[in-house]
Structure 1
Amino acid sequence: MKTVAPIKIYHAEPLDGTLFFVAQSSTYQPASLEDCELVLYHDLYKDAKQVGKFLKQISEKYKPLGKKVLIFVMLDDESDYGHFDNLILLRVSARASKLRDHEIILPYLWEGREEPYPLSPKSELPVIGFCGLLSKHRKKLVNVFLKSKQVSSDFLVRKKFWGGKPHDKSLINEFFDNIENTQFTLSNRGAGNFSMRFYQVLSCGRIPVLVNTNMLLPFSDKIAWNEILIFEDDAKTCLQRTLQIHEQGLTQELQLKCRQVYDDFLSPTVYFSQLIAEIKHRSLLQVHQTEKNKNSFSGLASHLYKKLFKA
């Protein structure tokens, strides 16, 4: 990727460990509130009950300063949060048709593999994996593949999210073993309109299979997603596309491309630079002020900069 110039960022409190990818990025340059180009909320926001109130408070706090605020929202919620001129929202879950101009899809950047698995060996039938909770958005896709005699299925169905034990090492190992030992992994959405598994599968160098549920995948203007994985409008078409890839002998080639996309756009080492490049390309850093407010802004900002602000 092209080198992205560093951006001056202010955050009132130390960055939470979940945002480690920001501090590690060469694009990140700490700055004072007065000198910064962008304010960053220091933590992943996870309180679904208070999200509307929280966004309004942050917007009102920084609007007099003419600063844009970047907020990472980690919620299953697909609701419309409303329009905020001075906020840039990164959200994992949203409906593509309702995404606002100041909102960007946040990929799931955690729990990916640093190195991909070796390429899957060739096989007579395409080998399909799935390990997880059989929620309502996954049942049809799983059943279509399970009933097909044209694929080899390796499915481990859980009764609860992560088997009810999210930190159990044996369950985590079974999850990733299932991905490693198959060529394709069913990766439909869960409670939110996104898939953690989708990004984990890419990091493993395997091919995700998912139904498009009015979902926008990240960096869609730069990544030809439909050319490297299976992202179709219904379960039967997903099966047909899987069979087509296998028959054409493209499985290993697409596995390499899936990992390459992860390395170029989604790994923690490059993601923040790609995000800032997109923000600049979309001119989201620009703060629009009316002529009426411009003269009064300078004096007000000087006064407020002297106070302690906490994002």
Structure 2
Amino acid sequence: MMLKLFTDTSFLTEQYRSKLFPLLFELVFKENESLMQCYKIVDDIKSAHIVVLPIDYSTFYSTSRKAFTELNTIARAHHKTIWTFTAGDYGFTTHIPNMYTFRSGGFDSKLNNKTFILPAFINDPYNSFLKQGFSPLKKQTKPSIGFVGHAKSGILKYLKEYMNFLKFKFERTFKNKLADKQSFYPSSVKRAKYLREIAQNKNLNTQFVLRNKYRAGLNSKLTQTETSKVFYENIYENAYTFCLRGVGNFSVRFYETLAVGRIPVVINTDCRFPLDHKVDWFKHCLIIDKNSKKPVSQHILEFHNSLTDNQFEAMQVSNRNMWLNTLNKEAFFLEIYELFKSELK
């Protein structure tokens, strides 16, 4: 049976393509056959199981307050479950009854049990940037850890990031920007500090390429392709990749590492991971509490030494398979379908 979705179809247009609820994008623009066997958009709310806000919550609210209010009102009048998508680095916590929120990140201790974390939906790197097929790396005595990305220390960088934070705070306070409040977190400075400590440990093989700006400040399609190739080759060549949150409390690199079939080293800054009701994330990556007094390098060595050769390779295979079968867009929303099948009764 199909899960029937009701939404404001006037927003399912090219104009709002980049803002669409990801599932609606797959149904409307991609016409994803697997998902269309499980979900159907209907024009009668009485027959619908779920009401879906068509575009990003903040955009919907600010673009057409009337349409936003009408859809929420009719959903409540018919006692329907509501799904909303909140985009951006910060995301926005809603308090509308019977609403489930899909978002990229947020702080686990502050999110309710009706909040689902969306994986970063990326293309398969083996189809785009890696010519070789997937195969797990053999375990070496010295673990190898890689990183390519934005990481820079120094007072000027710290001040620049703080100014960007103040800009966000001003917009949230005085321009009514719908985004959750959060404390200042100088992510690139933090990354540089962690990576410096890891690089100093001679029992680790490190392969770090540190950028002063996101994507090295390169904007052309050709240069972005080149930097992406370097990025993914670094993940492929190293068993472990260091993953720390950015402006928002999530890491896209985390999902990119899983897609390649390698092992993320995650600094847990009160993160919530996707489908945590089903996935035991400690079986797929090294998760280090941000308050740990032990050096990150020591965590890596202890974790690496705790794995047998077979376990080490099996984890890489498991990570690749999990991305293929659970974390890409199609697979993720098939998992969500399984969770909400009770609505069909």
- TM-score, normalising length from structure 1? 0.78
Cα 1:49–1:194 change in 2 (3 A) is farther
- Residue 10 in structure 1 maps to residue 6 in structure 2: yes
- Residue 70 in structure 1 maps to residue 83 in structure 2: yes
1:75-131: CA deviation from partner (whole Å, max 9, x where unpaired) = 21165x341114221011210001023321111112443666322244341110101
- Residue 156 in structure 1 maps to residue 209 in structure 2: yes
Query: What count of residue pairs does the alignment treat as equivalent?
Result: 278
Partner of 1:262: 323
Distance 1:207 1:21 in 2: 29
Distance 2:66 2:297 in 1: 43
Cα 1:32–1:54 change in 2 (3 A) is closer
5+ long unaligned stretches in structure 2? 128-132, 152-187
Worse-superposed segment, 225-234 or 70-79 = 70-79
Offset at residue 70 of structure 1 (A): 1.6
Distance 1:54 1:91 in 2: 24
Cα 1:239–1:61 change in 2 (3 A) is farther
CA contact (8 A) 1:21 1:272 kept: no
Bigger share in helix? 2
Secondary structure of 2:339's partner? helix
Worse-superposed segment, 200-209 or 250-259 = 250-259
Partner of 1:224: 280
Offset at residue 50 of structure 1 (A): 5.1
CA contact (8 A) 1:83 1:100 kept: no
2:146 to 106, 129, 135: 129
Cα 1:188–1:86 change in 2 (3 A) is same
Secondary structure of 1:269's partner? helix
CA contact (8 A) 2:245 2:251 kept: yes
Secondary structure of 1:154's partner? strand
Partner of 1:120: 137
RMSD: 3.1
Distance 2:88 2:301 in 1: 34
Cα 1:30–1:78 change in 2 (3 A) is closer
2:102 to 83, 87, 90: 90
Distance 1:242 1:54 in 2: 53
- Residue 179 in structure 1 maps to residue 192 in structure 2: no
Offset at residue 264 of structure 1 (A): 2.8
Partner of 1:33: 44
Offset at residue 61 of structure 1 (A): 5.6
Partner of 1:210: 266
Partner of 2:302: 244
5+ long unaligned stretches in structure 1? 287-311
Offset at residue 40 of structure 1 (A): 2.4
Worse-superposed segment, 110-119 or 128-137 = 110-119
